[in-house]
Amino acid sequence: MAVGPADVDKHIGSIAAEKNMSSSPEVVAHATPIFKKNVLADDVYEHFKSLIMDHSLEPETSLKIDVLARELGVSPTPVREALLRLETDSLVTKRGNRYFTNPVINRAEFEDLWEFRLCLEPWAAALAARRATNADLERLRTEVEHPAGMGKEMDFSKYRAMQEHDQRFHDLIFQIARNESAHDAFTRAHVHLRTFRILYASQLGLAGLHEHAAVAEAIATGDPQVSHAAMTEHLERSLERLRPFVQG
């Protein structure tokens, strides 16, 4: 059930309750804890990341640390740490004493992002073709042939596995290219978190798996031009698959 942009103290209980649950402080305070008291910040981080990525928490939803901690049955510390990580991921923004979920990228931002990718990633693939060692190619082949956690039925765990595979694959190409400045620029763009919020659908990601295999095969030939062309084709196809779902 999607949660609207009203304050979390009015709606956070809807994560585990019916839509018409009372929003009084007593209801939130007595909600059944989702996590154990000794929960790690990683667990809280993954919990809220999943809610943001699958749109259970809509853009501009207010996230107040003490309310979230009370709802989850944990201290404020792991919640605060999780929100700091989500801010680094560009999934939330702090305003005053609250965090707010960021909007999904709009059409102009999407087109800018793909222009960036089409400039940088085919070049990185060509560089990787020239610099790849046998060990590099084996890592790339393993990632393509055995993407962890994938399956035919879509739920968030598999969706997350698909997103993580996609991120690992593209990141690995920058590692093989061995250009730290380019790798850093790619990392800071948060390409995959921003892209995968656009659409929660398995068919788009599964199509990309076949294209990843073609890119890996191209890099393995050692031919920069073939690798550049394979990555360009992959990105252009991804662009066309996603573009119809981008708003604004």
Last residue of a domain, one of 101, 130, 147: 101
- Chain segment 80-127, per-residue pLDDT in tens: 999 999 999 889 999 988 899 998 889 999 999 999 999 999 999 999
Last residue of a domain, one of 57, 72, 101: 101
Same domain, 83 and 116: no
CA–CA separation, 20 vs 28, rounded Å?
13
For residue 28, give the nearest of 8, 45, 48 by alpha carbon. 8
Same domain, 143 and 223: yes
The neighbour count for residue 194, using CB atoms within 10 Å, is 18
pLDDT cut 90: percent of the chain above it: 49
CATH number of the domain to which 82 belongs: 1.10.10.10
Judge whether 48 lies within some domain: yes
Looking at residue 204, its pLDDT comes to 56
Looking at residue 200, its pLDDT comes to 56
Same domain, 68 and 149: no
Looking at residue 16, its pLDDT comes to 37
Which DSSP category does 64 fall into? -
**Res 55 pLDDT > 60:** yes
CATH number of the domain to which 152 belongs: 1.20.120.530
H runs (alpha helix) in 54-133: 65-72, 76-88, 107-131
**Res 28 pLDDT > 70:** no
Same domain, 123 and 84: no
pLDDT confidence tier of residue 20, bands split at 50, 70 and 90: very low
Same domain, 124 and 228: yes
Same domain, 139 and 48: no
Judge whether 2 lies within some domain: no
**Res 26 pLDDT > 50:** no
Domain count, the chain: 2
Last residue of a domain, one of 58, 74, 101: 101
Same domain, 120 and 228: yes
Which DSSP category does 1 fall into? -
Note down the domain range covering 26: 8-101
H runs (alpha helix) in 154-223: 156-177, 180-188, 191-196, 202-220
